[in-house]
Amino acid sequence: MGAITDARAALGFLTRIPVGRIERDEPGLTRSAAYFPMVGVVVAAVGLGGWWVGTSLLGSFAGAVLSVVATVVVTGALHEDGLADTIDGLWGGATPSERLAIMRDSRLGSYGAIAVVADVLFRVALLAPYGTSDWFDVAGLLLAGHVVGRGAPIVLAATLPAARSDGQGARLTSPARRDLAIAGITAAVAAVVAVGWWAPVPLLAAALTVAAVRRFARRRLGGGTGDVYGAAVALTNLVVAAVVVALGREGMGWDV
């Protein structure tokens, strides 16, 4: 029952799906991190459903918009909020303490607004060219992006100190090797499903994205925060999906 409880905790933490009362203390959150990528499967399924309905009834562009909106709604805009706060903080303050204070401010700044709009527009643009006959390709790019993206906080938690003693960043501590293995295998399987033998390419792109986020967070904040982890999910999701689309356009993937 431990694995089921941890998976339910991960689903309740990363989405707005009602799962009942769950453990939200530091050990419980860290244990559940192994199942963060599996939550990406659920989010991808929601996005695929929104895309199918919108594309079938209203056309491909409407389907792309509905897909992105559906994933934002089911996650409560958790990662978009982290992206906005992180970008505001990284470029809005002169010192680490000032940047952290900006990130805690509930008001949305210009940098953060631009970042979220750009993220959403790029995600819509990646989906817009596909019609209903391309459902397998859409399923692959959504699955790879959302699953691999949700592995980013686990890597950051294992390699970054917390920038402050409170908040979500401090609650998610370095996972055990077993949990890292579960998350890594899940991400690898999603990449294989998306592009077959070319799976190392989106995984490498994800690794480079996480490394860049880690570098910025370490140098400009002194460590990780919950917002940084959310931003890492959003950025990794976008980069991986873009790589999957690019590989597909070049004929590198499944021939369906």
pLDDT > 60? residue 213: yes
Q: How far is CA 4 from CA 35, 36, 67, 94, in A?
A: 10, 13, 28, 44
pLDDT tens by residue, 48-90: 999 999 999 999 999 999 999 999 999 999 999 999 999 999 8
**Is residue 251 pLDDT above 90, yes or no?**
no
Domain locations in the chain? 2-249
Instruction: Assess contact for 52 and 135: CB atoms under 8 A.
Output: yes
* pLDDT at residue 229 in the model: 96
- CA distances to 11, 132, 147, 242, 247 from 198, rounded to whole Å, are 29, 24, 16, 14, 8
Model confidence, pTM: 0.93
The Cβ of residue 8 has, within 10 Å, a number of other Cβ atoms equal to: 18
| 167 DSSP assignment | S
24-35 average pLDDT score: 74
Position 26 pLDDT exceeds 80: no
Which residue's entry shows tokens 């963060």?
A: 36
Mean model confidence pLDDT for the chain:
91
* Percent of the chain predicted with pLDDT > 90: 71
